[in-house]
């Protein structure tokens, strides 16, 4: 079976929040460049702001889920998980706001292994469920 890659669904309100965070970070960089005279403080502040911008961009552009052979690979920017498909015990819809590798609150909670769980938000839920063998109604 060929690998199937599923993009994360992306809520519009989240796009606005992330863009606002980037704008505030850029404003902070401009303020530090303009008003901070200590080069060490300036370097640390600008570096931290650029790191935050890079993390936001990485997670926003790099969240996806790949089903290949018997493994579900979850990628969210620099963060990665592997879930053996045969250890998945249940998949249920949720709108939980808790942190997860999902860019939407329209999520699937996957329970696997010994009391492990992760929430994801594939844009193509039906295709994803079929790919992992958990079609609705089964």
What's the CA angle centered on 67, arms 134 and 93, to 5 degrees? Answer: 40
Answer yes or no: is pLDDT of 73 > 60: yes
Task: Output the CATH code of domain 4-8+63-131.
Answer: 2.30.29
The pTM assigned to this predicted structure is: 0.86
CB 75 within 8 A of CB 67: no
pLDDT of residue 60: 92
1 pLDDT band (50/70/90 cuts)? low
Structure tokens at 16: 């606005």
φ, ψ (nearest 5 deg) of residue 74: -115, 125
Percent of the chain at pLDDT exceeding 90: 75
């Amino acid at each position: 079976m060929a690998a199937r890659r599923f993009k994360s669904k992306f809520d519009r309100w989240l796009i606005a929040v992330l863009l606002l965070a980037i704008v505030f970070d850029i404003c902070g960089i401009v303020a530090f460049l303009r008003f901070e005279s200590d080069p060490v403080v300036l370097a640390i502040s600008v570096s931290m702001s650029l790191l935050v911008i890079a993390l936001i961009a990485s997670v926003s552009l790099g969240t996806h889920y790949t089903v290949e052979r018997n493994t579900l690979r979850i990628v969210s920017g620099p963060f990665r998980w592997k879930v053996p498909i045969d250890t998945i015990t249940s998949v249920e819809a949720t709108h939980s706001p808790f942190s997860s590798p999902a860019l939407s609150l329209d999520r699937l909670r996957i329970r696997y292994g010994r009391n492990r769980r992760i929430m994801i938000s594939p844009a193509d839920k039906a295709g994803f469920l079929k790919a992992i063998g958990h079609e609705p109604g089964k």
